[in-house]
Amino acid sequence: MDNVKGDSFYLEKIVADLKFVIDHTKGMTQTEMEENDLLIDSVMFRIVQVAENGAKLSEAFRMAHPDIPWAAIRGMRNRIVHNYGVVSMTVVYDTVINHIPKMYLMLVAIMEEG
């Protein structure tokens, strides 16, 4: 039985994690988000997962989609993993509200293409 996971597998996982973040933070203010420790932990975990699964996408896939901010995704993961407890909630909130929805739409469009 072949257990090779391809780009579509990792792309689906990324999209699911992004959708989770969008669904659970929609309409929230930064203060509301900051007051919910469980939500913050969940959001940060999902962001880390997005970066981890993004790293598992083939180099060819990432190069074919340079409009996706692969380096920024990895950078955010590194901030969370290596500076947990001192991560700027302003940066996390900005990422959640402004960047994750855009990335989600871009990746859904890629999935629909093929």
Q: Domain boundaries in the chain?
A: 7-113
Terminal C-alpha separation, the chain: 25
pLDDT in tens, 9-53: 999 999 999 999 999 999 999 999 999 999 999 999 999 999 999
pLDDT in tens, 42-51: 999 999 999 9
pLDDT at site 96:
95
More confident residue, 80 or 85: 80
SS3 38: helix
* Burial tier of 108 (Cβ tally within 10 Å: 0-12, 13-18, 19+): middle
- The pTM score is 0.91
